[in-house]
Structure 1
Amino acid sequence: MGISMFVCVLVGLVLYGTTTIINGVEGSHKVYKEYKSVPAVEVKQLHRTGFHFQPKKHWINDPNRPMYYNGIYHLFYQYNPKGAVWGNIVWAHSVSTDMINWKPLDPAIYPSKPFDRYGCWSGSATILPGNRPIILYTGIVDPNNTQVQNYAVPANYSDPYLQKWVKPDNNPLVFPGVGVNGTAFRDPTTAWWGPDGHWRIIVGSRRKHRGMAYLYRSRDFMSWTKAQHPLHSAKTGMWECPDFYPVSMDSENGLETSVMKGNIKHVLKVSLDLTRYEYYTVGTYFHEKDRYVPDNTSVDGLAGLRYDYGNFYASKTFFDASKNRRILWGWANESDTASEDVNKGWAGIQTIPRKVWLDKSGKQLLQWPIEELETLRGKNVHLNNQQLNLGDHVEIKGIAAAQADVEVSFSFASLDKAEPFDPSWADMDAQQLCSHMGSTVTGGLGPFGLLTLASANLEEYTPVFFRVFKAKDKHVVLMCSDATSSSLKKELYKPSFSGFVDVDLTDKKLSLRSLIDHSVVESFGPGGKTCITSRVYPTLAVLGDCHLFAFNNGTETITIEKLNAWSMNNPLMN
């Protein structure tokens, strides 16, 4: 994914000659020429994260194919070495032994050849037989943004860090071809090996208003042939950063991308250029026909399931062979303006890597922060059997509230006070509903949850909360991460991010985990069923003046059965 996902907030924009603002966030093919090569004079520390991945300065976006190789985790990512807005993009490269502490290396790929002279955009890595990693990436060949797919290989396979990469002169490997939009043809996936002896990849594209996952096959990884039909398509607009992989129906363990046999499903994820959100489906891959058919358990389109219902884009998974798990990385952009980013000298973070697996229902994925994150936990406070009545705000004291990990289990005695779910809301997405029924709107069963990054007198706070409704034949759980009151600053994008939670309320309990890190609140609903990431910029609730509260604004009494909160230490970060 390239400049098409350059996102800034509330700044004038030209997109193919038209002004477009989507969900309060700009998507832009516009280059900020006045900013893109302005280096950081000073890196402002206010709002910089303590334990999320980010370089020392400047702009980052997509996590390009992370991988595990010979005991080392590699993360490649889109990076501007010259400034804090999109531009001058290279493939930056960092390495780690735990995905928490990171060491920076020199960029792995940067524009230097005719086949990528105008840009090195996103892509993926594959481990070939003989334990040989190879990178596929999108190269820009002319000022018109014509896109081709190139490859790069390590200069020295014995180097444990794979510090230098070579782009052979037989590039490009894949051209748009007849009938393919050459300016919308990017982000090749990790390859998978089929029973017929062919490698396969998909490349994101669009044809008129349809998102396309074009399929290519190769016996030798060098000569690629476009399949007669795409792996899948849907009427959603351009598909960026596609990802396609198998998941087990029997276990939380991850599967290597080429696994075809066993009790498995496949996941197809795409990033939507039209909405700046992602969605995924769970379905069946018929490898004999090279067709993917989503199950009918979720929407295959704009209202589909998301990894994350907040600020999360251009995600990429990989199979971690060291622990037999599949790991998800995603990019969380800033929600301030381009000029603010230039002033502070940095922009963009990667969310905490998450283990991802299939729910027992087979209908959706579950996500949870990798277990290694817990090594950063410091001072701990806990709370048990604390009742929250209507209007109660209980402060969680004794930790660094601006940089914390909080796990809490809520319970309630009855579902009787759940508010009726208005049938007219069925056509309203969760974010709209949350914006109408925020944390201060009194309800029956909820709203209840946490007030994160809060000032002492609640002039600023980012609530993460639940509200339970009663529909005709079931209960509906709404989870929100609402940035509306997150900052006194005006020139910010402050959405009411929200998603519904498909959860059984028989035991009358809901759990929540929030990772709080200065300008990001990354939250996980019950068991990782619904995840929401918010970027916020408080002016009062910063550093030592930040507070954390549990609250209830519903008439049904809520009990905090168990709450654990930890101050989080800083890892080694680039």
Structure 2
Amino acid sequence: MVNWEPLEPAIFPSEPFDIKGTWSGSATILPGDKPVILYTGIDPQENQVQVYAVPENASDPYLRKWKKPADLNPIIFPGKGINASAFRDPTTAWKVNGYWNILVGGKNDRIGIAHLFKSKHFKKWKEAKHPLHSVPDTGMWECPDFFPVSTKSGFKEGLDTSVIGDDVKHVLKVSLDLTRFEYYTLGTYYPNDDKYVPDKGLVDGWAGLRYDYGNFYASKTFFDPVKNRRILWGWANESDSKMDDVKKGWAGIQLIPRTVLLDPSGKQLVQWPIEEIETLRENKVQMGNQQLKPGEHIEIKGINGAQADVDITFTIPNLDKAEPFDPSWKDPQDLCYKKKSKVGGSIGPFGLLTLASENLDEFTPVFFRVFKADNNKHVVLMCSDASHSTLTMRVYKPTFGGFVDVDLTKNNNQISLRSLIDHSVVESFAAGGKTCISSRVYPTQAIFDQAHVFVFNNGTEPITLTNVNAWSMKRPEQMN
């Protein structure tokens, strides 16, 4: 999933049931290694229907051409009580109790819905008596995803989509059309009742857990049976103007694929770039045991700042100096907007200045702040701020933020940050992937060999750079 060969479109509007659009879907591998794609088609009446496609030539290793059997399609119509204009994005199927199951996203007024359908032989589908799950006031659920994760301590592998059992939790992720971000819950799946119940205490709505607190949407996971891992792949839309997109001839990028596991706490997922990305590393630079004084920034020299992989461990010498945390600070993104990288605090802001011009006219900071709550526990805020990322005013330049669930006192007062920098996108992973933020930016000065990377500390307390490992990243090969 590093080197790619561009091919012609595999599925495109061609039949009456999808002539007005072929939208998101999922693949399922049936017994005998037979792949099937289910996707959403838009018919002439603008109804959203679910369509079945199979390879024309199963011996083609690239599966370039797909056929849509006329005698089967559409396989699912929006039935009575289903909003035909909000009925899309079927999931990968899972098999339980002798039946295949899929979810299709939907809404009824402001109620987000995961419609459940079942099939014995994957051709004729019947709607279950009730949705698998629904939540009021969340709006349209796009691109739902439903998969198991292992609860076994130390288990470092993913699970096939059909796995159920005592040592398993399930994840339900939805993409919120109203807010253009995603959230997920962990919970229990009751297959005999066709029901999913989120764990007690989790927020099941807009303020819930997120894969990524930045520019990340319409994501999808799949199980990789070769390396026994679950891989997550998300999409970042553009932050520049439509006029710029037309000029470029494209809009939106796929981000770096990530592995997904249940955190040992059982309270959230953790994500990490797939190991294959490391094959692009070259020209390693190391630093360590160096103090970052208040107001100081130090360049990481010897790497290509436009394409880099930077992995840092920071140590906070004195947590007692942390500023008090205001319990009214509920929204981390709003807090990051108010306390940007140049707004000095006590412990922080400290972190990275990525895609930075030499004179720091342009930069995209990724950074932490540490506060102390009333219970004497520390609150760690992670931010990524695009407000200084470009000198062009035509670009949307948001500030993103998320809290990091880490106990600094049990972690030797340390926190890690890994950032993948690739010309116009910065993907960052805090504390081993507990909190992730992706930013889509458009530098005009900090480009190619004029892009730099700095570590910085704008707090009043010193921070220790315990370890810095940084690499230039080669371009992926485009296969012919």
Shared fold (TM-score, shorter chain, > 0.5): yes
Query: Aligned pair 1:102/2:102, yes or no?
Result: no
Residues 401-457 of structure 1: CA deviation (Å, up to 9, x unaligned): 01100000000112111111112223xx11100000111111111110000011111
Residues 481-516 of structure 1: CA deviation (Å, up to 9, x unaligned): 111111111111111111000001011001000000
Aligned positions, number: 472
Q: Per the alignment, in what secondary structure is the counterpart of residue 476 of structure 1?
A: strand
Counterpart pick for 1:558 among 458, 463, 467: 463
Query: Aligned pair 1:432/2:337, yes or no?
Result: no
Counterpart pick for 1:504 among 407, 413, 433: 407
Partner residue in 1 for 2:14: 112
Q: Per the alignment, in what secondary structure is the counterpart of residue 247 of structure 2?
A: helix
Residues 1-58 of structure 1: CA deviation (Å, up to 9, x unaligned): xxxxxxxxxxxxxxxxxxxxxxxxxxxxxxxxxxxxxxxxxxxxxxxxxxxxxxxxxx
Partner residue in 2 for 1:491: 394
Counterpart pick for 1:174 among 76, 95, 108: 76
Counterpart pick for 1:132 among 31, 34, 45: 34
Aligned residue runs from structure 1 range 408-487, under 5 A: 408-426=312-330, 429-473=331-375, 474-487=377-390
Q: Which amino acid aligns with 2:394?
A: E
Partner residue in 2 for 1:90: none
Query: Aligned pair 1:211/2:112, yes or no?
Result: yes
Partner residue in 1 for 2:445: 540
Question: C-alpha separation between the residues in 2 aligned to 1:543 and 1:565?
Answer: 17
Residues 56-108 of structure 1: CA deviation (Å, up to 9, x unaligned): xxxxxxxxxxxxxxxxxxxxxxxxxxxxxxxxxxxxxxxxxxx0001122211
Partner residue in 2 for 1:359: 263
Question: C-alpha separation between the residues in 2 aligned to 1:333 and 1:484?
Answer: 17
Residues 348-395 of structure 1: CA deviation (Å, up to 9, x unaligned): 110000000100111100000000000000111111111001100101
Question: C-alpha separation between the residues in 2 aligned to 1:547 and 1:572?
Answer: 24
Residues 213-264 of structure 1: CA deviation (Å, up to 9, x unaligned): 0001111111111111100011200000000000001112100000012401
> Which blocks of at least 5 consecutive residues in structure 1 are unaligned?
1-98
How big is the shift at 1:566?
A: 0.6
Q: Which amino acid aligns with 1:288?
A: N
How big is the shift at 1:396?
A: 0.8
- Cα contact 1:417–1:555 (8 A) shared by 2: no
Question: C-alpha separation between the residues in 1 aligned to 2:294 and 2:128?
Answer: 60
Query: Aligned pair 1:401/2:305, yes or no?
Result: yes
- Cα contact 1:138–1:188 (8 A) shared by 2: yes
Partner residue in 2 for 1:42: none
Question: C-alpha separation between the residues in 2 aligned to 1:298 and 1:288?
Answer: 23
Partner residue in 2 for 1:326: 230
Query: Aligned pair 1:526/2:431, yes or no?
Result: yes
Question: C-alpha separation between the residues in 2 aligned to 1:377 and 1:540?
Answer: 24
Partner residue in 2 for 1:389: 293
Query: Aligned pair 1:153/2:54, yes or no?
Result: yes
Q: Per the alignment, in what secondary structure is the counterpart of residue 109 of structure 1?
A: coil
Q: Per the alignment, in what secondary structure is the counterpart of residue 321 of structure 2?
A: coil
Partner residue in 2 for 1:256: 160
Question: C-alpha separation between the residues in 2 aligned to 1:289 and 1:218?
Answer: 16
Partner residue in 1 for 2:418: 513
Q: Which amino acid aligns with 2:60?
A: D
Q: Which amino acid aligns with 1:280?
A: Y
> Which blocks of at least 5 consecutive residues in structure 2 are unaligned?
none
Question: C-alpha separation between the residues in 2 aligned to 1:214 and 1:465?
Answer: 40
Q: Which amino acid aligns with 1:545?
A: Q
Partner residue in 2 for 1:285: 189
Question: C-alpha separation between the residues in 1 aligned to 2:220 and 2:301?
Answer: 37
Question: C-alpha separation between the residues in 2 aligned to 1:297 and 1:259?
Answer: 25
Aligned residue runs from structure 1 range 214-229, under 5 A: 214-229=115-130
Question: C-alpha separation between the residues in 2 aligned to 1:380 and 1:559?
Answer: 21
Aligned residue runs from structure 1 range 227-376, under 5 A: 227-235=128-136, 236-250=138-152, 251-376=155-280
Q: Per the alignment, in what secondary structure is the counterpart of residue 425 of structure 1?
A: coil
Question: C-alpha separation between the residues in 1 aligned to 2:347 and 2:432?
Answer: 20
How big is the shift at 1:546?
A: 1.0
Q: Which amino acid aligns with 1:442?
A: G
TM-score by length of 2: 0.97
Question: C-alpha separation between the residues in 2 aligned to 1:107 and 1:542?
Answer: 32
Question: C-alpha separation between the residues in 1 aligned to 2:185 and 2:55?
Answer: 34
Partner residue in 1 for 2:25: 123
Question: C-alpha separation between the residues in 1 aligned to 2:79 and 2:189?
Answer: 25
How big is the shift at 1:158?
A: 1.8
How big is the shift at 1:573?
A: 3.5
Q: Which amino acid aligns with 2:108?
A: R
How big is the shift at 1:298?
A: 2.2
How big is the shift at 1:526?
A: 0.6
Question: C-alpha separation between the residues in 1 aligned to 2:450 and 2:31?
Answer: 54
Question: C-alpha separation between the residues in 2 aligned to 1:456 and 1:348?
Answer: 28
How big is the shift at 1:156?
A: 1.7
How big is the shift at 1:531?
A: 0.4
Question: C-alpha separation between the residues in 2 aligned to 1:481 and 1:233?
Answer: 32
TM-score by length of 1: 0.81
Q: Per the alignment, in what secondary structure is the counterpart of residue 372 of structure 1?
A: helix
How big is the shift at 1:166?
A: 0.9
Residues 103-146 of structure 1: CA deviation (Å, up to 9, x unaligned): 1222111111111111111100001111111000001002x521
Aligned residue runs from structure 1 range 5-154, under 5 A: 99-142=1-44, 144-154=45-55
Q: Per the alignment, in what secondary structure is the counterpart of residue 503 of structure 1?
A: coil
State the identity %: 66
Partner residue in 2 for 1:38: none
Could you say what the CA RMSD is over the residues aligned between the two structures, in angstroms? 0.9
Question: C-alpha separation between the residues in 2 aligned to 1:484 and 1:573?
Answer: 33
